[in-house]
Amino acid sequence: MPDMKIGERGEELINYMRDHFGGFFDLIQGAMTDLLRLTYEVLSALQPTVMIGIFVALALLVTRKLGLTAVLGIGLLVIESMGLWFETMQSMATVLVATAVALIVGIPVGIWAAFSPVVRAIVTPLLDFMQTIPVFVYLLPTVLFFGIGPVPGVIATIVFAAPPAVRLTQLGIRQVDAETVEAATAFGASPWEVLREVQLPLARATIMAGVNQVIMLALSMVVVAGLVGGGGLGSIVVNAVQSLQIGASIEGGLAVVILAMYLDRVSAALGGQGRGMPSWWPKRRSTTGVEIAHTEQKELVAA
Partner 1 sequence: MTDPYGTPTGDPEDLAIVGRHLTKAYGLDGRAATKALAAADPAAAVAAAGGFLGAHDVSFEVRKGEMFVIMGLSGSGKSTLLRMINRLNVPTSGELLIGGEDIVTASKARLRELRNQKIGMVFQHFSLFPHRSVRDNAAYGLKVRGLPRSERYERADAALARVGLSGKGDKFPHELSGGMRQRVGLARALAVDPPILLMDEPFSALDPLIRRDMQDLLAGLQAEDRRTTVFVTHDLNEAMRIGDQIMVMRDGKVVQVGAGVDIVARPADSYVSEFVSDVDRARVLTARDLLRPALLSLDVAEPPDVALSKLADNEANGAFVTGADDRLLGVVTDTNLHGAINARHRDLSGVVTDDYHVVEPDAIVGDFMQHSGRHLVPITVVDAQGRLAGVVPRAAILSALSNVREVAHA
The whole-angstrom separation of Cα 102 and Cα 85 is: 25
Q: Which of 189, 248, 254, 260 binds partner 1 (CB under 8 A)?
A: 189
Q: Which of 53, 201, 229, 253 binds partner 1 (CB under 8 A)?
A: 201
Minimum Å gap between C-beta 296 and partner 1 is 8
Instruction: Decide if residue 261 touches partner 1 (CB under 8 A).
Output: no
Q: Which of 71, 270, 277, 293 binds partner 1 (CB under 8 A)?
A: 293
Options 19-27, 220-228, 233-241, 293-301: segment touching partner 1 (CB under 8 A) = 293-301
Instruction: Decide if residue 301 touches partner 1 (CB under 8 A).
Output: yes
- If you write DSSP's letter for every residue of the chain in order, what string do you get? -----HHHHHHHHHHHHHHHSHHHHHHHHHHHHHHHHHHHHHHTSS-HHHHHHHHHHHHHHHH--HHHHHHHHHHHHHHHHTT-HHHHHHHHHHHHHHHHHHHHHHHHHHHHHHH-HHHHHHHHHHHHHHHHS-HHHHHHHHHHHH-SSHHHHHHHHHHHHSHHHHHHHHHHHHHS-HHHHHHHHHTT--HHHHIIIIIHHHHHHHHHHHHHHHHHHHHHTHHHHHTTT--HHHHHHHHHHHTT-HHHHHHHHHHHHHHHHHHHHHHHHHTTSSS---TTS-SSTT--HHHHHHHHHHHHHH-
Instruction: Decide if residue 270 touches partner 1 (CB under 8 A).
Output: no
Options 63-71, 102-110, 192-200, 262-270: segment touching partner 1 (CB under 8 A) = 192-200
Binding mask 157-186 for partner 1 (x = CB under 8 A): --------------------x-xx-xxxxx
Instruction: Decide if residue 277 touches partner 1 (CB under 8 A).
Output: no
Residue 241 vs 270, nearer CB to partner 1: 270
Residue 234 vs 271, nearer CB to partner 1: 271
Instruction: Decide if residue 297 touches partner 1 (CB under 8 A).
Output: yes
What radius of gyration do the chain's Cα atoms show? 22
Instruction: Decide if residue 300 touches partner 1 (CB under 8 A).
Output: yes
Instruction: Decide if residue 202 touches partner 1 (CB under 8 A).
Output: yes
Minimum Å gap between C-beta 290 and partner 1 is 9
| Residue count, binding to partner 1 (CB under 8 A) | 29
**Binding residues for partner 1, per CB under 8 A?**
177, 179-180, 182-190, 193, 197-198, 201-202, 278, 280, 282, 289, 292-293, 296-297, 299-301, 303
